[in-house]
Structure 1
Amino acid sequence: MSGFKFGACEWSFPCWGALALKMAREAGFTGMQLGDAGGSLHAYPLTDRRVQEHYLEAASKYGIELLSIHLYTLGHQGYVRHSPDSPEGRICRESIEKGIIAAHQMGIPTVIVDGMRMNTAAKRRHVFEMERCAAEIADAYGVNIAMETDMTLEEHVAFLDGLGGRVTLCFDTHNPMMYGTGKPADLIRALGKERIDHFHMKESRPNEDGYITVETPIVLLGQGITEFRESVEAIQEIGYSGWIISENFYYRPNLTCGGEDPVDLARRDVETLQAAFGTE
């Protein structure tokens, strides 16, 4: 029996909340990685009992497992790269703590804290401190911390091992190709399943100059040049089992320009994942 399960990010759909869970289930996904519902910008909605009940009731109704909370707003704010003593750093710590508390209260096992764009020594120190702090808080609540990042293999190993194995990866197979940090399949094999909590998967086609950038449109799985199938092979080779999460954007104009419905597009990705991982 296959150990692979397929989920989607909440922000893969046109709106968040119960409708996103419904659309994910209609497409064939069985899990969802939640965003943070606005995080610090909206007084941490996921810590509100009514909001928690909204998600839990919808998850039960539609048969969707709430597998993790990605601190989506915090990632876009970039406060994880600020000094812990700065106003931004204090918001970062509060965001992490509130996210962990919400996960604990909702029975969600994992919280993701971005560690992207550490392009100076100071930013790297700040992110390391934030991830260390997150791990300490999470230990008290029985929650796991996963980190999405854009590092090279050597940087991955040094950073994660420096945290004593208390933080694992939300490994995005698209990131190494976009940031030029290596071949995703090579990184997956070298890092091994022990350092990986779960995977994000998405694909891009190149721009007119042959490059993948943050502006390059995301396409359906298997239709880009970010080595989707090679990544699948590496994931299987290391003996990983668990969640494979689509981080596609099924509502964006480059995908819906022909009148396609987001659920139909998402269903095609589910079918691609099932065929690639042999779970049909």
Structure 2
Amino acid sequence: MQLGQTGVWSIELRTADPHEITDAATELDELGWGALWIPGLGGGDILADSQRLLRATRVAKVAVGVASIWRHRAADMAAGHTRLQNTYGRRHMPGLGVSDPAAARDAGRPYRPLADMGAYLDQLDTAPAPVPPTERLMAALGPRMTDLAGRRTAGVHPFMVTPEYTAAARDQLGEGPLIAPYQAVVLERDPDKARTAAREFLQVFLGMDHYARSLLRQGFTEEDLTHGGSDRLIDTVVAWGDTEAIGARVRAHHRAGADHVCLHVVGAGPAMPLAQWRELATLNS
């Protein structure tokens, strides 16, 4: 499934007032964004929330980045995905993730990431209405999970990664599999304000073991991960500045081998960041 070169990744497109979400999705579609991404959050009816966006759009794909395999039964995901594909012109792309050990414990299961994801994909393959590998992707950060994604899904949707990570993933996967990195962005030219906004958003993730290990593998140090993240980490993981500066980061991911880059506007307050999405839409041309 072709997602286009750029997409919008948004918590607000899942949690805001439904009428506001519909209006925003319609406008984003008209602005030329290739895909609208919504997070899995704590579960909930991700299929209904995807349907709201599909109903409001004509061209844009709707992707989930990502749904925890512990919070959504494979049979339900397969049936719902098939229904959405048949109704809205094959524009739905579910992303899947193994979350962390706490999520597995909450589901009453041991945590075996590769085996758990493999078993879930088996269930999608053997469902009454199977989900084709080309119509699903995975959150993958480590090399073994990336390999699994390349073999059994359309590709990977990595979180909090650099263009250098994208290049390494492309080297590992070769040509063909989709690489669609998440990219946090702050539309702010003042370095102090931009870094403050970035730290406020990222600090919770820096304390999560799987994300911390990913950043260490990318060449950051333990010191980089303290106090909300060093300037080096913030400046490398978050794109901030004007539209041209953010566009430069998007182009860096594409040169490194990304097929699609989804942009998450952070630091804009609790409201729907329509003004920022409109400004960033110039990157679609």
**Alignment TM-score > 0.5, same fold:** yes
Residue 230 in structure 1 maps to residue 252 in structure 2: yes
Q: Determine which of 18, 22, 26 is the counterpart of 1:18.
A: 22
The gaps in structure 1 that reach 5 residues or longer are: 83-87, 275-279
Are the aligned partners of 1:10 and 1:34 in contact in 2 as well (CA < 8 Å)? yes
- Written as runs of structure 1 = structure 2, the 5 A alignment for 1:3-14 is 4-9=4-9, 11=11, 13=13
Residue 97 in structure 1 maps to residue 42 in structure 2: no
- Secondary structure of the structure 2 residue equivalent to 1:41: coil
- What do you get for the CA RMSD once the two structures are aligned? 4.4
Residue 192 in structure 1 maps to residue 174 in structure 2: yes
Q: Corresponding residue for 2:44?
A: 41
Write the deviation string for residues 236-257 of structure 1: whole angstroms up to 9, x where unpaired: 7xxx5xxx352413xx4x2359
Q: How many residues align?
A: 226
Write the deviation string for residues 138-165 of structure 1: whole angstroms up to 9, x where unpaired: 97466833223233335422x246xxx4
Q: Determine which of 198, 209, 212 is the counterpart of 2:230.
A: 209
Are the aligned partners of 2:4 and 2:35 in contact in 1 as well (CA < 8 Å)? no
Are the aligned partners of 1:147 and 1:167 in contact in 2 as well (CA < 8 Å)? yes
Residue 32 in structure 1 maps to residue 22 in structure 2: no
- Written as runs of structure 1 = structure 2, the 5 A alignment for 1:1-280 is 4-9=4-9, 11=11, 13=13, 15=16, 17-25=21-29, 28-33=31-36, 35=38, 41-42=44-45, 45=48, 55=53, 58-60=56-58, 65-70=59-64, 72=66, 75=67, 78=68, 80=69, 82=70, 91-105=72-86, 106-117=88-99, 122-137=112-127, 140=130, 144-157=134-147, 159-160=148-149, 165-172=151-158, 174-177=159-162, 183-196=165-178, 199-203=180-184, 207-210=228-231, 219=240, 228-235=250-257, 244-249=260-265, 252=266, 254-256=267-269, 262-271=273-282, 273-274=283-284, 280=285
Q: Distance in 2 between matches of 1:10 and 1:248?
A: 6
Q: Distance in 1 between matches of 2:273 and 2:46?
A: 30
Q: Distance in 1 between matches of 2:29 and 2:60?
A: 12
Are the aligned partners of 2:114 and 2:145 in contact in 1 as well (CA < 8 Å)? no
Give the TM-score taking structure 1 as reference length: 0.59
Q: Distance in 2 between matches of 1:202 and 1:212?
A: 13
- Secondary structure of the structure 2 residue equivalent to 1:114: strand
After TM superposition, the structure 1 stretch with the greater mean CA deviation from structure 2, 101-110 or 8-17, is 8-17
Distance 1:217 1:191, change over 3 A: closer
2:80 maps to amino acid? G
1:130 Cα deviation after fit: 0.6
Q: Distance in 2 between matches of 1:203 and 1:38?
A: 17
2:256 maps to amino acid? A
Q: Corresponding residue for 1:277?
A: none
1:22 maps to amino acid? T
Are the aligned partners of 1:21 and 1:32 in contact in 2 as well (CA < 8 Å)? no
1:71 Cα deviation after fit: 6.9
Distance 1:189 1:110, change over 3 A: farther
Are the aligned partners of 1:68 and 1:111 in contact in 2 as well (CA < 8 Å)? yes
Q: Distance in 2 between matches of 1:128 and 1:269?
A: 37
Q: Distance in 1 between matches of 2:73 and 2:233?
A: 29
1:129 Cα deviation after fit: 0.8
The gaps in structure 2 that reach 5 residues or longer are: 102-109, 186-194, 200-227
Are the aligned partners of 1:114 and 1:148 in contact in 2 as well (CA < 8 Å)? yes
Are the aligned partners of 1:23 and 1:263 in contact in 2 as well (CA < 8 Å)? no
- Secondary structure of the structure 2 residue equivalent to 1:202: strand
